[in-house]
A and B are shown apart, each in its own frame.
Chain A
């Protein structure tokens, strides 16, 4: 791009515009991140401030030999994959439906954002309460409908706990996708869809060949930002299961958090967090490279 290279000479202006954001971010996030990254090289245990031996990459080696790290990593993969996928599918479906016209559409649009408007603490507690073995509404309804013969301990089994927590997070997050995709859908020119319909394209074909390509960029950006968000979100799991039973709902950030706040092993926790960041970076770079042209990065 010629104009771009011409503009590149005015170097100082863009940096001035960026300065406030850079300063604030550097002070409030970058500095603590750098400190934490530095900590990962030490056996830094919070309650031993006088004895902080240097380990080099010792904490990282420890992670690779730690079975709980691998369990947590695998759970994280399942967690991110399932949560993002189902949030997206449900959000997409909701957006497609809300893009139709019906008389109570604006009410429906406002109501579906309610889950997003609640703090995670409340969400975690309410869902735990609903899953309760004894007083939970899930068991009660399913028993009344005759779907199950006896109550299920949803949050105390190896097979149901992770899915149960995933469902809670899907509920919390699908409105985000619904809102973003709905907005994207408004931009799809209706002439295109009509033309496709006249050409005999069936609804699914129209979705695949006309609608989806048009909203692809919005979807991709939303997916990227959401993946990062979900990868790091642990408050709902923490409230609902604390990572249990056993290690069934340990995800990587949760494990790092427990190592830091319970065992107070900040050095090791920092190493775990850095590994998580590095893995996410791979995802992001793959995305940025692919999207570089479209996003004009």
Chain B
């Protein structure tokens, strides 16, 4: 019996364990059948054309609006929900970025590049659900709260001179939006750790295990984002639902086993993309999902250009296999090899761009365990060359001029060759117009002259009114608010290059407004260039699984193509910071001279002095003082008068003294000279 009971007991234990797990995972089962708190973790890997690999972690926690739990949550981070409730945040995005997104090589059109590429440093924007006059106060409090939460100096965004309120150009346009950036903020693990703490499994289980600090900070681009939307409707903040999206995008260089150098010598191997696996780029493997996650998936994405190229190569090589590409046979093509079999293959439904569609291989992490970890790897067999799809216009921004007085900011837009593909339909149309939104914030000490805005299209100067459809400018106020410029440009579709220039004067700061490293220069935050005509979204076949995946549904969202320009560095005049010392010295001298002479004037009685001098003059004088007095008389520019000679006694003593001093000095010199 006991023998029989034991397996039963084990079975029972197992069952309860499972149940417990389910219970933890899905939260408490509510009677009304409300939606539960959910957590999803996903990882998207994508080979990039310049031998690098993009890894995009996406964690979504959602808390449905419910009053049942009170202030408690099962999975959702309490810190965030408190933040949302306290400051009535409707939508907020905070990003910490190190490095620059390379729009030319890594693409600028897909959802990752468009909505996850962020400017270096910290960027924060938030929409508040409060009356207009309370927005600034809420923003200030929010920055302080976030600053403490993420160990970053976000509190510098509190000052009114650092943030702005875009009216309509920033994509989630709304009246209560505040936007601020800190381009110089350094990003490191101290910011990542609090970010990971918001995850239910932190980095102890699930996909977040891969976030090995040395390997992700070795990368070429590193951006951690926190985006939250509160869907609450009621005026009371307690019953709002919150969706928290945490995304971390890194671009890593796979380490080759034999090193890049060695393979460079062989011409054939030269063009082969490096092979990589999760363990080679992160140094870790996925050992099962986070048990609290509803879904845990790994995707491998081959983007449109790569798929098209692979198809072309395949067609050249094997004429016989003429049948079209299907999702089933594609991954078994001989051009590359995956170390694990994908569970599903999702192909983008290509409606707009006829060229090709990207492919996503889906790997379910549930299937892997401690003993059998997921170490997804990609091994290239043949050299492949492709280009990522870039935004319709490549934008860059730079400073013009030199010197400490004035300069100009130029934004140059250059058409990318790839544009013909999706503009082809409209290209014939003469009236076709390409809309470009520009949003730019400049600090107050860069005094922009908005009247000096010049527009050049295809190297021809154009009237501003012809090109700019809509412009909103809020000029800067010294030490109060930054200058902000929002513009809608209408460019002809066939435009090859366009340039905007605007001149500025460099202002002067008060000495205590200079940062510690003032001689580096001052930053002008990135401008945002967006193309509302184009949407960086992917369409997938309507399928149950796609809807379940927050990452893919995020990709499906229609959002305009956006790109950030470079941060600019403006050298301003800096004072000599050692000057205070000099100033103190010189003021002290001046004061001493002033008070000395004032005292002299107040104290002295001239008539009495003359009488005193005459008294003394009656006494006898020596020979040397006589000469001296003659000399001094000459110095004064007066004829010498014998009675004016100074007292003999003091002079006699002094001459004796001088003689003695000279004698002693001479002796000392002689002694030094002969005895050393």
> Do A and B truly interact?
no
Binding site for B on A (CB under 8 A): none
Binding site for A on B (CB under 8 A): none
